[in-house]
Amino acid sequence: MPPKSQRRAPSSSSGGLANTYLLAYNLVSAVAWASVFARVVHLAAKEGVQNGRVYEQTERYARLVQTGAVLEVVHSLVGLVRAPLLTTLMQVASRLLLVWGVGYHFPETTRDSPAYASMLVAWSVTEVVRYSYFVFVLSGQGVPRLWTWLRYNTFFVLYPLGVASETWLIYKAIGPAEKRNEYLAYGLWAVLATYVPGFYTLFTHMLRQRSKVVGKKRV
């Protein structure tokens, strides 16, 4: 799903501390997601994506890395960043559902699915670009032109890929969920229904961010 908007620039000593914290946070997050991407690609190339190896070797680590993104909501809530709280909450909540509610609790439908690998690829590439982009911004050294292009163009492919993978995994989990509790299955159906307005909200948010950057470059 799409990244959030620009980080707030520091304006005081406390702002300088916040800048240092955000720089470290984004750097660690970029490295963590790069590791997820490397693991998935290595395993997929070596052993394929339908034998459960990608899931077995990455599920726990990817779940840990994504859970750390709860801090994104905190950052937005306390005003540490300018990211809209609603879009941030939607993104983080949907991903937590996937790693905890689906991947962790329904391995029987997730383990051998190529959608699990494609989801992690979409997420990890998006996050490596996003977090490293903010590392450049917060370092004050400027953002390379290539990174700006990646930041505001790769979502055209990665976002639909991620959403398609996520919805497929949720759909496949409905059957096993219904056997445990029919209301759990209803809940997953309800989540699927939110993907239509959610896709529109988050995708148009990123389009607006892209138009601001492209507009500035044309002036």
Among 159, 183, 186, 200, the one annotated catalytic:
159
- Catalytic site residue 72? no
Q: How far apart are CA 88 and CA 148, in angstroms?
A: 21
Cα dihedral 135, 140, 146, 149 in deg (nearest 10): 80
Residue identified by tokens 């991620």 is 162
Catalytic-role residue among 59, 72, 127, 166: 166
The total number of residues shown for the chain amounts to 219
Q: What is the CA radius of gyration of the chain?
A: 18
Is 166 marked active-site? yes
| Cα angle: 123, vertex 200, 122; to 5 degrees | 10
- The set of catalytic residues is 159, 166
